């Protein structure tokens, strides 16, 4: 699915569901295919069906938030943020919400939420996600051309190096 062959992946997920309809995670992946193909109505319907099967998972709620964002459903976004108000999930949703704020040009609020994402992850001893949220923030800052001076680029690049590493010990290959 991650190679961009969404129609093919969708057909394979549908076949897997046909063989064993109890595989909720596989059914959920159908929704991700719809989302990737910008078939938002089908994605939303799929994710709602998955939710009705009592599949209460961080990634499902993230997909529901993303679908709500893409369709302009503010109440749907708030509903998913409310679901995430717990230590084991709030850091990811702070990060997701920071991206939403940045999309709407509210960079100050985006930075505040990014900091909350990192702080929440670190409070819960989750260094790898904290590093991802720092990298996400740095990339967003670069995209908005806020990190125009060499000193700022260095400051944005370095903090996450202390939090997370890939197997080679480097952040980028």
For the chain, the domains span: 1-76, 84-164
Tell me, what DSSP letter sits at residue 23?
-
**pTM score of the predicted model:** 0.76
Domain 1-76, CATH: 1.25.40
Instruction: Give the residue among 62, 102, 69, 66 at the shortest CA–CA distance from 84.
Output: 62
Residue 85 CB partners (closer than 8 Å, separation 6+): none
Could you read off the pLDDT tens digit of each residue along the chain, which spans 173 residues? 557 899 999 999 989 988 988 788 888 899 999 999 999 999 999 999 999 988 888 899 999 999 999 999 999 999 999 999 998 899 999 999 999 999 998 999 999 999 999 999 999 999 999 999 999 999 998 888 754 455 555 555 545 555 554 444 444 33
In angstroms, the CA 31 to CA 39 distance is 9
3-class secondary-structure state, position 56: coil
């Amino acid at each position: 699915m991650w190679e961009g062959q969404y129609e093919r992946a969708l057909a394979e997920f549908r076949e897997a569901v046909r063989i064993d309809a109890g595989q909720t995670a596989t059914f959920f992946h159908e929704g991700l295919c719809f989302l990737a193909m910008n078939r938002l109505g089908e994605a939303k319907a799929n994710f709602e069906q998955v939710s009705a099967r009592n599949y209460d998972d961080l990634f499902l709620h993230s997909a529901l938030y993303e679908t709500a964002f893409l369709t302009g459903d503010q109440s749907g976004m708030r509903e998913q943020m409310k679901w995430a108000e717990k230590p084991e999930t709030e850091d990811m949703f702070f990060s997701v919400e920071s991206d939403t704020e940045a999309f709407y040009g509210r960079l100050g609020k985006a930075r505040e939420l990014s900091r909350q994402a990192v702080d929440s992850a670190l409070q819960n001893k989750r260094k790898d996600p904290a590093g991802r949220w720092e990298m996400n923030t740095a990339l967003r800052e670069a995209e908005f051309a806020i990190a125009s001076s060499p000193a700022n680029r260095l400051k944005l690049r370095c903090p996450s190096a202390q939090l997370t590493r890939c197997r080679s010990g480097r952040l980028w290959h």
